[in-house]
């Protein structure tokens, strides 16, 4: 009976690390960027969001325990073009008066060859659609960098609909890109 009493704590000590969750990270905002790129009249342009929050929990060895939850303040969009920056928050595009935020939350992670893919749902303008993002995670000391990329179809969310639905003027595809510098909590 004494050996059983000693064996149970020893087995638990070895088993519990396998059940541990992913590491929670704090985003270092000054060194991080949440951006996108698209085309207008055949010319590429880039944009960023200045205000957003991200709850990141990630374990490269056990991606099933990982989670991303991101809120984006759509009024904080900047592209470097004053006309575009004035139009994007308006009713024809993001409609921030009615839908001030976009939200992405993961539903699962999967290995795709050597790459990791984060599957989740993006809610934009009140429309929720599945999105898959490629993930590159690089540990660095007690923190990490996290790069994320993927593509969404703007018209799936009603962004630039109506007279702006012509994809020969405003491209249909919008590429999402983020570079996050993370510190372990």
Task: Report pLDDT digits (tens) over 59-98.
Answer: 999 999 999 999 999 999 999 999 999 999 999 999 999 9
Confidence of residue 15 (pLDDT cuts 50, 70, 90): very low
Q: Which pLDDT score, from 0 to 100, does residue 162 have?
A: 86
Domains of the chain with CATH codes: 21-184 (2.40.128.110)
For 108-159, give the DSSP string. Answer: EEEEETTEEEEEEEEEETTEEEEEEEEEEEEEETTEEEEEEEEEEEGGGGTT
Q: Which residue has the tokens 């969750």?
A: 21
């Amino acid at each position: 009976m004494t050996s059983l009493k000693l064996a149970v704590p020893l087995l638990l000590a070895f088993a519990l690390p396998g059940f541990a969750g992913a590491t929670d990270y704090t985003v270092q905002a000054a060194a991080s960027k949440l951006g996108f790129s698209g085309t207008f009249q055949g010319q590429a342009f880039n944009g960023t969001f200045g205000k957003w929050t991200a709850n990141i929990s990630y374990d490269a060895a056990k991606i099933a325990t990982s989670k991303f939850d991101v809120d984006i303040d759509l009024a904080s969009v900047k592209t470097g073009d004053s006309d575009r920056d004035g139009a994007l928050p308006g009713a024809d595009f993001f409609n921030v008066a009615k839908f001030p935020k976009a939200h992405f939350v993961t539903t699962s992670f999967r290995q795709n060859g050597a790459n990791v893919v984060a599957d989740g749902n993006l809610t934009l303008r009140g429309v929720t659609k599945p999105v898959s993002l490629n993930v590159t995670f690089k540990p660095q000391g007690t923190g990490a960098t996290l790069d994320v990329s993927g593509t969404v179809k703007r018209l799936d969310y009603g962004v630039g609909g109506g007279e702006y639905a012509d994809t020969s003027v405003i491209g249909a595809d919008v590429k999402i890109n983020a570079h996050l510098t993370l510190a372990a909590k």
